[in-house]
Amino acid sequence: MSANPGEREPVRPEIALSWMRSRLSGLDPSSAIAVDTEEQDGESRLLRAAAPVLDEVSQQIAGTGFCVLLADRECRVVASVYSDSRVERTIERLGVVNGSRFGEEHAGTNALGTPLEVGRSVVIHGDEHFLDSLKGLSCYGQPILHPVTRRVEGILDMTGVVSQANPLFAPFLARAAADIEKRLLEGSKASEQRLVDAFQRVSHQRHIAVAAIGDDILLSNRTALDLLDTADHVSLRSLIADLNPDQSRLVTVELASGALARVQADRISGADGGALFLVEPLQRERAPIRRTHERAPSPGERLRRDLMRARATSAAVAISGEAGSGRTSAASDVVGSVDASWLDATRIAFDGREQWVTDLVRAARKRSGVVVIEQVQLLPDSVLPLVADLIDASAEGPKIVLTSGAAVDLPSTIAALLSRCASRVVITPLRERQAEIAELAQVMLEGISPELRLTASAAEALAAANWPGNLAELRVVLNRASDERSSNRIDVADLPEDYRTTTKVSRLAGREKAERQAIIGALKDCGGNKVHASAQLGISRSTLYTRMRALDITV
């Protein structure tokens, strides 16, 4: 049988797909297993839960010729038990040691990386492995799921130096994994348990949507699953941003579906920022909302309202906003279906001032329609009087629409020019539209590919970003994420690394943010080696691990 997986006899479909993923990762069957040499955190939640279970497993497999490996959610081997020293030497000679990376991108088809990739237990018989060095092994891998979050916490693998996996592997490992999962639940952070307890006390209500949202947990009753979208989860989180523990807020909001709902938001004490939300849909005709008590419109709603008003008037319109905020799209909304001439001040550098002015005058002589001048902050002073005259004469000639940078950044001459426009539209920066980011991102994703969906975790990560490039930056990020995705769901792991900041990080105070950046910088300088990073920072490794967990650092 050839060493090239592409030349083998037909195999099971899941194995063929795994081989394809392995080749696309740039692996060759002769590749060696990569090993992460940095010191592992022996106090991780997974290892604490698994340690007594592995002790029992070691006694159960004694003398059988097998070994059991435990990998974390990044598919690094973090613990192993062997039936005897001969098996241990054989396995370690293959490069299987603590720190070995078994993700499919590092080790191809195997019973640690492949179950993580497909999200279920998988058996890999000898020659079904992608790497030549692993062909003499048969293995069975079982994902370990956190009982509350249902997130994969690790993979448990049973391996033998045989050609076919023993059918008893599956029930044996399933029991061991279940024991670890039970201990994970028992050892859950007290903060998570407080949030779970709060949810369970009220989740039985059938006509009210109940959701509990924390940094690492999302619980919903059946009503909430039917009523709330991903965008709503982000909006709900924004309601408790300024609440102290045990404080509550009662507000009326418009959900992503367009329905009105009354929301009671309760910040749970000791739940590390977690909150409980009771969402009761309102019938508009039965419970009309008095205008004096209506919620304030969102920035996006205000923008749509202002643009429609600007479209309806014949007066000149000035649209200002930061780069990438959608000024051109806003100008298009103002123009509507009317014939328009578009000029961009950036073209002066290419076409010359005289040619640009000639084009402007030609457009103005049409006496009707709309003339759009973009990037007016780049206009030379010699052109400003001409544009000012066109604005003043807009009642008799074409309607003038100007776009510019943010008002606070404009020179006084340009600010004076814009002040002549009777209608002014200001586009709010994306960083101030956190509650809308999930909805905006979903619309953009559907433009990339209609079947793409954004997970709640990814939406929260996007909402926590700063977005100096506004909508243009968001579009770039989503295009990159769509290229990196492994399914039709865009998750946090699919986002570029700089955009995986959690809501927990976004709530850090200035001093904590500075500490977080210092630790991240040291880890990057040291290539991720925590021993060297702790020495550079002048703190112990245990202190470094503690601060990394507290500041949500996963570098």
pLDDT digits (tens, 9 = 90+) for 53-100: 999 999 888 888 899 999 998 899 999 999 999 999 999 999 899 899
The candidate with the shortest Cα–Cα distance to 152, out of 228, 234, 45, is 45
* CB-based contacts of 219, cutoff 8 Å, min separation 6: 148, 195, 196, 199, 203, 211, 212, 213
Specify the DSSP element, H or E, that contains 158.
strand 152-160
Q: Which two tokens stand for residue 56?
A: 């029992």
Mean pLDDT over residues 388-408, rounded? Answer: 90
* Residue percentage of the chain with pLDDT more than 90: 41
- For 119, list phi and psi in degrees, rounded to 5: 75, 25
> Taking the domain 5-186, which CATH number applies?
3.30.450.40
Residue pLDDT, tens place only, 326-368: 999 999 999 999 999 999 999 999 999 999 999 999 999 887 8
- Segment 393-417 mean pLDDT: 90
Q: Which CATH architecture has domain 191-287?
A: 2-Layer Sandwich (3.30)
Given pLDDT bands bounded at 50, 70 and 90, which one contains residue 143? very high
- pLDDT of 517 over the 60 cut: yes
What dotted CATH number matches 433-503? 1.10.8.60
Q: Does residue 151 surpass a pLDDT of 70?
A: yes
Domain ranges of the chain: 5-186, 191-287, 299-430, 433-503, 508-550
Distance CA 172, CA 158 (A): 9
The CATH class for the domain spanning 299-430 reads alpha beta
C-alpha 11, offset from chain centre? 35
Which of the 8 DSSP states describes residue 76?
A: B
Element (H, E) at 211: strand 209-213
pLDDT surpassing 70 at residue 289? no
Q: Same CATH topology for 299-430 and 433-503?
A: no
Q: Measured on CA atoms in the order 93, 98, 102, 105, is the torsion positive or negative?
A: negative
Strands 340-344, 152-160: pairing is unpaired
Dist. CA 47–CA 184, nearest whole Å: 10
The two tokens of residue 279 are 């969402």
Q: How confident is the model at residue 503 (pLDDT cuts 50, 70, 90)?
A: low
508-550: CATH homologous superfamily? Homeodomain-like (1.10.10.60)
Span 168-195, pLDDT tens digits:
778 889 999 999 998 887 766 666 788 8
